[in-house]
Amino acid sequence: VAPVTMNAFELISKSQGLNLGTLFEK
Amino acid sequence: MGCFHSKVGRQFSGHEDPVILASQTAFSVSEVEALYELYKSISSSIVDDGLISKEEFQLALFKNKKKENLFANRIFELFDVKRKGVIDFSDFVRSLDVFHPNAPQEDKIDFSFKLYDLDRTGFIERHEVKQMLIALLCESEMKLADETIETILDKTFLDADVNQDGKIDKSEWHDFVSKNPSLLKIMTLPYLRDITTTFPSFVFHSEVDEVAT
């Protein structure tokens, strides 16, 4: 999907910094 | 339903009682104790002082001492409920509570609104969203022309900023995420359902006897 067709928040939510799941990975 | 006799002592000394934390969150007492195992490992990763610093939080998120990340900083600020510059155990549990699969949708919407309201003005403004988009592009080493970024912002604000005043208020955000539920995916951590199996060692340190009734 070309980023231009996505809304800004969809893109931002892909940030690694927002993926708190990694806190639980040992 | 269980009945708990708390004998909080050594393990939670200086931290809020797990029974109280469990009573005020979606977590059971065992889950709070399992979260303490995770908390201990993060809070001792650089300096073993029983508190999570921003550096320790980033180390836990990225598994290396990566350079500053806007989003990790923002999450840290929101977890640092008492604004002390560090996350204590009750901050950690209460903040993760919002990410529990069973947490109310409204709480998730509120937290996500605060996350994107970088300047804490009570609105998500265009310049904040642009700043976050640019940070994302830097992080992912993706390149987009400024014109393309502006097109994405135009489209986003056309959809989300219903009254077209150039900023997204809480009610507009609520409507926008209700129409785009995938935006709330980052607000749910399935790991929190299995926290006691991920950190089973909590049973060796448990200071609470569960008595079945």
A1 and chain B in contact, CB less than 8 A: no
Question: B144 versus B10: which is more confidently predicted?
Answer: B144
Q: Does residue B111 sit in the same domain as residue B83?
A: no
A18 and chain B in contact, CB less than 8 A: yes
In a domain, residue B156? The reply is yes
Q: Does residue B78 sit in the same domain as residue B115?
A: no
Identify the residue whose tokens are 């708990």. B4
Residues of chain A with pLDDT under 70: 1-3
Domain span holding position B90:
21-98
In a domain, residue B212? The reply is no
Q: Which of A4, A13, A19 sits opposite B151 (nearest CB)?
A: A4
In a domain, residue B206? The reply is no
Query: In this structure, are strands B208-212 and B2-6 parallel, antiparallel, or unpaired?
Result: antiparallel
Q: What is the pLDDT of residue B54?
A: 94
Digit-coded pLDDT (tens) for B56-66: 999 999 887 76
Q: What is the pLDDT of residue B211?
A: 39
Give Cα B85 distance to the centre of its chain. 15
